[in-house]
Structure 1
Amino acid sequence: MNIILYAVPFFFLLIGLELVLEKVRKTQYYRTNDAINSLSAGVLSRMIDIVKALVPLTIYVLIYDNFALFQLTETALVCIAAFVLYDFCYYWNHRLGHEMSLLWAAHVVHHSSEEYNLTTALRQSSSSIFSWVFYLPLALIGIDPIVLISVGSLNLVYQFWVHTRHVPKLGWFEWLFVTPSNHRVHHAQNRAYIDRNYGGVFIIWDRLFGSFQEELDDEPVIFGLRSSLKSWNPLYANLQVYKQLWQDSWHTQSWGDKWRVWFGRTGWRPADVAEVYPIVKTDLTKFEKFDIPLSTFSKIYCLLQHSLTTFIALLLLLNINNLLTYQQIAIVVWVLYASYSTGMIMEKRSVAPWLEWFKHSTLLAAIILIPLPTWLFWSLTIPLAVSMLGAYLLQKSSNQSSQLTSNVIESI
Structure 2
Amino acid sequence: MNLNFSEEVMYTLPFYLGPLFILSILSYLKKHKNYRFNDTLTNASIALGNLGFSFIILLGVVAVYSYAYKEFRIFELDQSNPLTYILAFFAYDFCYYWNHRIHHMIGLFWTDHLVHHTAENFNFGVSIRISYFTELTMWMSFIVMAFLGISLEVFLVASYIQVLWAFCIHTQYVKKTPLLDKFFNTPSLHRVHHARNGKYIDKNFGGILVIWDQLFGTYQRELEEEPAVYGVRESYPSFSPLVINSYFLKTIWKKIQLSRSPWEIFCSVFASPGWLPKGVEKKNFYSDIARIPCSQFKPRDPYISLRTKWTAIVRFSVTLVLFCYLMSYFGDFPVLPVTALSLLFLWLSHYNGIVLDGRNVGWSAEIISQALAGIFLYWTIVTEQNHFLAISSVSLMVISLLNYLVYRQNGELKNRLSPQSETL
TM-score calculated relative to the size of structure 1:
0.86
Q: What letter matches 2:166 in structure 1? A: Q
Q: Is structure 2 residue 15 aligned with structure 1 residue 10? A: yes
Post-superposition offset of 1:293: 0.5
Q: What letter matches 1:126 in structure 2? A: Y
Query: Structure 1's 105 and 361: CA in aligned 2 closer, same or farther, altered over 3 A?
Result: closer
Q: Supply the distance in 2 between the matched residues of 1:155 and 1:324 (Cα, whole angstroms).
A: 37
2:174 to 156, 161, 167: 167
Q: Supply the distance in 2 between the matched residues of 1:301 and 1:275 (Cα, whole angstroms).
A: 40
Aligned to 1:395: 408
Query: Structure 1's 367 and 81: CA in aligned 2 closer, same or farther, altered over 3 A?
Result: farther
Q: Supply the distance in 2 between the matched residues of 1:182 and 1:270 (Cα, whole angstroms).
A: 33
Aligned to 2:323: 313
Q: Is structure 2 residue 54 aligned with structure 1 residue 45? A: no
Please tell me whether the aligned partners of residues 9 and 327 of structure 2 are also in contact (alpha carbons under 8 angstroms): no
Aligned to 2:291: 282
1:274-329, Cα deviation, whole Å (9 max, x unpaired): 37952142312431221210001111111221122122223333444555565544
Q: Is structure 2 residue 355 aligned with structure 1 residue 345? A: yes
Q: Is structure 2 residue 117 aligned with structure 1 residue 104? A: no
1:97-132, Cα deviation, whole Å (9 max, x unpaired): 112212111110110111111211111012343321
Please tell me whether the aligned partners of residues 186 and 193 of structure 1 are also in contact (alpha carbons under 8 angstroms): yes
- SS of 1:216's partner is coil
Q: Supply the distance in 2 between the matched residues of 1:193 and 1:327 (Cα, whole angstroms).
A: 47
- SS of 1:273's partner is coil
2:309 to 287, 290, 299: 299
Post-superposition offset of 1:22: 1.8
1:227-273, Cα deviation, whole Å (9 max, x unpaired): 01021121111111111112212321122211122222220101233
Gapped regions of structure 1 (runs ≥ 5): 403-412
Q: Supply the distance in 2 between the matched residues of 1:85 and 1:152 (Cα, whole angstroms).
A: 11
Q: Supply the distance in 2 between the matched residues of 1:201 and 1:66 (Cα, whole angstroms).
A: 30
Please tell me whether the aligned partners of residues 315 and 403 of structure 2 are also in contact (alpha carbons under 8 angstroms): no
Q: What letter matches 1:273 in structure 2? A: V
Q: Supply the distance in 2 between the matched residues of 1:263 and 1:382 (Cα, whole angstroms).
A: 46
Q: Supply the distance in 1 between the matched residues of 2:137 and 2:410 (Cα, whole angstroms).
A: 45
Q: Is structure 2 residue 288 aligned with structure 1 residue 273? A: no
1:195 to 198, 202, 205: 202
Q: What letter matches 1:181 in structure 2? A: S
Aligned to 1:31: 36
Q: Supply the distance in 2 between the matched residues of 1:197 and 1:153 (Cα, whole angstroms).
A: 20
1:167-207, Cα deviation, whole Å (9 max, x unpaired): 22345333333222211111100111111111222233222
Q: Is structure 2 residue 105 aligned with structure 1 residue 86? A: no
Q: What letter matches 1:134 in structure 2? A: S
Q: Supply the distance in 1 between the matched residues of 2:387 and 2:163 (Cα, whole angstroms).
A: 34
Query: Structure 1's 208 and 295: CA in aligned 2 closer, same or farther, altered over 3 A?
Result: same
Aligned to 1:207: 214
1:236 to 243, 247, 252: 243
Q: Supply the distance in 1 between the matched residues of 2:339 and 2:96 (Cα, whole angstroms).
A: 29
Query: Structure 1's 44 and 16: CA in aligned 2 closer, same or farther, altered over 3 A?
Result: closer
Please tell me whether the aligned partners of residues 252 and 270 of structure 1 are also in contact (alpha carbons under 8 angstroms): yes
Q: What letter matches 2:19 in structure 1? A: L
Please tell me whether the aligned partners of residues 3 and 150 of structure 1 are also in contact (alpha carbons under 8 angstroms): no
Q: Supply the distance in 2 between the matched residues of 1:4 and 1:79 (Cα, whole angstroms).
A: 28
Query: Structure 1's 301 and 261: CA in aligned 2 closer, same or farther, altered over 3 A?
Result: same
Q: How many residues end up aligned between the 2 structures?
A: 400
Percent of paired sites with the same residue: 28
Q: What letter matches 2:309 in structure 1? A: K
Query: Structure 1's 37 and 154: CA in aligned 2 closer, same or farther, altered over 3 A?
Result: same
Post-superposition offset of 1:373: 8.4
Please tell me whether the aligned partners of residues 101 and 263 of structure 1 are also in contact (alpha carbons under 8 angstroms): yes
Q: Supply the distance in 1 between the matched residues of 2:38 and 2:123 (Cα, whole angstroms).
A: 13
2:128 to 90, 101, 122: 122
Query: Structure 1's 258 and 89: CA in aligned 2 closer, same or farther, altered over 3 A?
Result: same
Q: Is structure 2 residue 152 aligned with structure 1 residue 152? A: no
Please tell me whether the aligned partners of residues 337 and 376 of structure 2 are also in contact (alpha carbons under 8 angstroms): no
Q: Supply the distance in 1 between the matched residues of 2:222 and 2:89 (Cα, whole angstroms).
A: 26
Aligned to 2:420: none
Please tell me whether the aligned partners of residues 252 and 273 of structure 1 are also in contact (alpha carbons under 8 angstroms): no
Query: Structure 1's 149 and 344: CA in aligned 2 closer, same or farther, altered over 3 A?
Result: same
Query: Structure 1's 382 and 210: CA in aligned 2 closer, same or farther, altered over 3 A?
Result: same
Aligned to 2:419: none
Q: What letter matches 2:292 in structure 1? A: D
Please tell me whether the aligned partners of residues 178 and 199 of structure 1 are also in contact (alpha carbons under 8 angstroms): yes
Q: What letter matches 2:152 in structure 1? A: P
Q: What letter matches 2:124 in structure 1? A: L
Please tell me whether the aligned partners of residues 24 and 40 of structure 2 are also in contact (alpha carbons under 8 angstroms): no
Please tell me whether the aligned partners of residues 35 and 119 of structure 1 are also in contact (alpha carbons under 8 angstroms): yes
Higher relative contact order (CA 8 A, sep 6+): 2
Q: RMSD between aligned alpha carbons? A: 3.0
Q: Supply the distance in 1 between the matched residues of 2:162 and 2:318 (Cα, whole angstroms).
A: 28
Deviates more, 1:188-197 or 1:3-12: 3-12
Deviates more, 1:377-386 or 1:299-308: 377-386
